[in-house]
């Protein structure tokens, strides 16, 4: 195999109570990439369609992630990468993660799969470090592994794929304003009240238990962010209204996707997820704000060859 | 039924990463109580064997918890309670919780079970409030429900019984020094680093996932307390040595039981749990410190009629 075409899914990081540790893979939206073996060593980004991103390998997340993998295998060939972006940069649904994950997944396939999917996460994180300044796995882990993932620890990297119930659907609305991940990190407080932290980990425990037992009510009760959402919500247009609307229309819970500005809701069943989508749209339709919206099953497979 | 005799199990609260939210029910040690219907309204503590605790109803955790339940049902009879304490007060394995749980469980049985076990937790928490100044459920919930419990939320009270693998055993050693829960609360810092909180909830998520999937290695990796143990450990004689010894002898993890001074370890299989117990004993045997030690299966049933 000298060439591979892959689907690189969008992802929702944090999932309310799981700040910096949880992520969820979407099925309905993502990028495509074509990766080709080349006689010339190294990695070249030969084409980017759909986004204004740097072609220079060392400045491109796919390039950096791919190089990290190649350094680990001492491979004699090189790779040309074409990226077809559908996930907008800065949308909060893992745009950089999709590219980083795609590069390492595709190259790994082309060199005979020396690494497991879990092992690939480590390399993809090097791309995330370029994009946001920190090596985080909360988007690349679900993009690569699919489903809902828990990053128990970053050092050493310990990722657990969490069971998720079959009728869980996500609705994600992306108001097209620019929020930089780095700026959204800056609004966080370095110290948090122990009381709030206890509420947060109580909810995280409840969410994990709800996912394993398909207890949708429990999932709903646990989808609450005590710490980060109050700080970041005000930066997102009509966040409170969108969230309230989602809940009123039957969503189990709603919150900020990643560092925003996208807002997600989780629902039981596609009918509710669609109803939530329509209600969310109605809120932004009253404004001039352009938006994109997606309704998606949880993508249990993750990144894949197409 | 006019009289009931019950076993009120000891419990381990917190379980390292689950500060204030997790608890675990033991089988090998606990109190006994006899509760009798009486023509005289109210509750009387008629006998306490094994501990120097107040007989006055309003100053006794069993009395206060029992009265809280009776107020909710407007019952025409009263109850006499005998308490046979095996769990030492201030041991950190839920001594007050056992008495509070016993009172409400026993009375509920005698009046025709108007409340579910889960509903009883609320009343038992009134006893805990008397003992420690705060209504907490992390010991009474596992005492009443059995197994491992997660208190997702205190207000409203939301308790989830977590699946736990069949080969999980606890070793608990109680160095007989006095540590007051209130004093151990005072060493906590009201603010904690967000970074530490993230590590803590990553581990809590990992622990819950490990329990649902019987992944003992994951349980072990997740049994880590980033926040509270460093502050409380120094108050417990040779805490670091006992913990290290437990891990060296095959325990999955080890930490402070409740607010101490008891130290627990969790192991896969009773052989390892016994080996850990012997190794822990050897540490304290080199000192003059009196101690008690218990090896116990997780008690999946909780408080029960005997």
Q: Which residues sit opposite A66 in a β-bridge?
A: none
As a whole number, mean pLDDT of residues B14-40 equals 97
Q: Give the pLDDT score at B162.
A: 96
Q: Give the pLDDT score at B117.
A: 97
Sign of CA dihedral A139, A145, A148, A151: negative
Instruction: Look at residue B62 and tell me whether its pLDDT is greater than 90.
Output: yes
Q: Give the pLDDT score at A184.
A: 83
- pTM, full prediction: 0.97
Does an H or E element contain A79, and which? strand A78-84
pLDDT, tens only, B74-97: 888 899 999 999 999 989 999 999
User: Is the CB of A148 inside 8 Å of chain B's CB atoms?
Assistant: no
Q: Give the pLDDT score at A198.
A: 98
Mean pLDDT over each residue of chain B, to the nearest integer: 96
Q: In this structure, what DSSP letter does residue A187 have? A: T
The interface pTM score, or ipTM, of the predicted complex is 0.96
User: Is the CB of B206 inside 8 Å of chain A's CB atoms?
Assistant: yes
Instruction: Look at residue B181 and tell me whether its pLDDT is greater than 80.
Output: no
- Name the token pair of B45: 């503590």
pLDDT string in tens for chain A (306-residue length): 899 999 999 999 999 999 999 999 999 999 999 999 999 999 999 999 999 999 999 999 999 999 999 999 988 889 999 999 999 998 999 999 999 999 999 999 999 999 999 999 999 999 999 988 788 999 999 999 999 999 999 999 999 999 899 999 999 999 999 887 677 888 999 999 999 999 999 999 999 999 999 999 999 999 999 999 999 999 999 999 999 999 999 999 999 999 999 999 999 999 999 999 999 999 999 999 999 999 999 999 999 999
Report CB contact under 8 Å: B152, A190: no
C-alpha–C-alpha distance, residues A165 and A154, integer Å = 26
Task: Determine the 3-state secondary structure of A296 from DSSP.
Answer: strand
Closest chain B residue to the Cα of A196, Cα to Cα: B191
User: Is the CB of A42 inside 8 Å of chain B's CB atoms?
Assistant: no
pLDDT, tens only, B131-143: 887 889 999 999 9
Closest chain B residue to the Cα of A201, Cα to Cα: B201
Please report residues of B whose CB lies closer than 8 A to that of A134: none
∠ Cα B302 B150 B301 (to 5°): 15
Share of chain B above pLDDT 90, in %: 92
- Name the token pair of B253: 């993890």
Q: Give the pLDDT score at B273.
A: 98
Q: Which residues sit opposite B79 in a β-bridge?
A: B37, B43
Q: How far is B6 from chain A (nearest CA, A)?
A: 30
Report CB contact under 8 Å: A208, B203: no
Report CB contact under 8 Å: B205, A153: no
Task: Determine the 3-state secondary structure of A276 from DSSP.
Answer: helix
What residues contact A96, with CB distance under 8 A and at least 6 apart? Answer: A61, A89, A127, A128, A130, A131, A132, A139
What residues contact A266, with CB distance under 8 A and at least 6 apart? Answer: A15, A168, A169, A170, A171, A219, A223, A251, A252, A253, A254
CA distances from A3 to A108, A305, A306, B274 (A): 12, 11, 11, 57
Closest chain A residue to the Cα of B193, Cα to Cα: A191
Q: In this structure, what DSSP letter does residue A58 have? A: G
C-alpha–C-alpha distance, residues A150 and A166, integer Å = 18
User: Is the CB of B34 inside 8 Å of chain A's CB atoms?
Assistant: no
Q: Give the pLDDT score at A290.
A: 96
Report CB contact under 8 Å: A192, B188: no
Report CB contact under 8 Å: A153, B208: no
User: Is the CB of B150 inside 8 Å of chain A's CB atoms?
Assistant: yes
């Amino acid at each position: 195999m000298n060439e591979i075409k892959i689907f690189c899914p969008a992802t929702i990081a944090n999932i309310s109570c799981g700040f910096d540790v949880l992520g969820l893979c979407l099925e309905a939206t993502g990028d495509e990439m074509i990766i080709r073996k080349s006689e010339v060593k190294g990695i070249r980004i030969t084409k980017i369609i759909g986004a204004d991103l740097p072609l220079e390998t060392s400045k491109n997340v796919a390039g950096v992630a791919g190089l990290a993998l190649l350094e680990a295998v001492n491979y004699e060939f090189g790779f040309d990468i074409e990226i077809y972006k559908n996930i907008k940069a800065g949308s909060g649904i893992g745009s950089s993660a999709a590219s980083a994950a795609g590069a390492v997944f595709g190259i790994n396939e082309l060199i005979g799969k020396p690494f497991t999917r879990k092992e690939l996460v480590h390399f993809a994180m090097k791309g995330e470090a370029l994009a946001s300044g920190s090596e985080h796995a909360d988007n690349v882990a679900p993009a690569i592994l699919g489903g809902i993932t828990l990053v128990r620890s970053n050092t050493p990297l310990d990722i657990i794929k969490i069971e998720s119930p079959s009728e869980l659907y996500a609705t994600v609305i992306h108001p097209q304003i620019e929020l930089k991940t780095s700026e959204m990190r800056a609004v966080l407080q370095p110290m948090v009240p122990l009381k709030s932290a206890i509420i947060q980990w109580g909810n995280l425990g409840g969410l994990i238990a709800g996912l394993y037992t398909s207890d949708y009510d429990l999932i709903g009760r646990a989808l609450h962010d005590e710490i980060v959402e109050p700080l970041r919500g005000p930066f997102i247009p009509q966040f409170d209204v969108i969230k309230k609307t989602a809940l009123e229309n039957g969503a189990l819970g709603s919150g900020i996707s990643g560092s925003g500005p996208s807002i997600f809701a989780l629902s039981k069943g596609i009918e509710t997820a669609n109803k939530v989508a329509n209600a969310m749209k109605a809120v932004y339709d009253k404004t001039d704000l352009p938006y994109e919206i997606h309704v998606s099953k949880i993508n249990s497979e993750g990144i894949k060859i197409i």
